[in-house]
Amino acid sequence: MLDPKIKLLQLRKLKHNHGLIAMLNGPLLSKGGAQTKLYTDQITKQINHAAEEFNWSPPPRARMAVSFRFFSDQYDAPEIYSLVKYYLDLLQGPVFKDDRQVQYIDASIWRSTPKTDKASSRLYVYVRRLSEYSRLLDLCAESDAFRKENGSPIIHHHLIDQEHWDDADKQCDLLRCNRIMAYDVPHHNNPFLKEFVIDFNKHHPLIFDFGSLPKRGQSKQFKEEIGSSLSKLITNYLRSNKILVPVEFDVQVPKSAAALTKDLDNIMITICSEAKKHLIDPKLFINGYRIYVADRLDADGDSGLQVKLLPAGEIESYNDRIEKAIESLEETLIDRM
Please state the domain extents for the chain: 17-140, 154-337
Give the mean model confidence (pLDDT) for residues 142-168: 66
Judged against a pLDDT cut of 60, whether residue 299 lies above it is answered with no
Amino acid symbol at 43 = I
Of residues 32 and 204, the one with the higher pLDDT is 32
Measure the CA–CA gap between 96 and 90, rounded to whole angstroms: 10
Q: Which of the residue ranges 68-72, 131-135, 151-155 has the most confident prediction, judged by mean pLDDT?
A: 68-72
Give the mean model confidence (pLDDT) for residues 159-182: 76
Average pLDDT, the chain: 82
Backbone angles phi and psi of 33, in degrees to 5: -70, 165
Establish whether domains 17-140 and 154-337 are of one fold: yes
The pLDDT assigned to 103 comes to 94
SS3 153: coil
Of residues 312 and 114, the one with the higher pLDDT is 312
The pLDDT assigned to 298 comes to 45
User: What CATH fold (topology level) applies to the domain 17-140?
Assistant: 60s Ribosomal Protein L30; Chain: A; (3.30.1330)
Give the mean model confidence (pLDDT) for residues 245-255: 89
- Write the CA distances from 317 to 28, 135, 154, 314, integer angstroms: 23, 20, 11, 5
SS3 75: coil
Q: Which residues contact 14 (CB under 8 A, 6 or more apart)?
A: 132, 135, 136, 139
- DSSP H or E segment with residue 192: helix 191-202
Q: Are strands 207-209 and 122-129 parallel, antiparallel or unpaired?
A: unpaired
The model's confidence at residue 138, banded by pLDDT at 50, 70 and 90, is: confident
pLDDT in tens, 257-286: 655 567 899 999 999 999 998 888 888 889
The pLDDT assigned to 297 comes to 45
Measure the CA–CA gap between 59 and 56, rounded to whole angstroms: 9
Judged against a pLDDT cut of 50, whether residue 133 lies above it is answered with yes
User: What CATH fold (topology level) applies to the domain 154-337?
Assistant: 60s Ribosomal Protein L30; Chain: A; (3.30.1330)
The pLDDT assigned to 195 comes to 59
Judged against a pLDDT cut of 70, whether residue 336 lies above it is answered with yes
Backbone angles phi and psi of 20, in degrees to 5: -120, 125
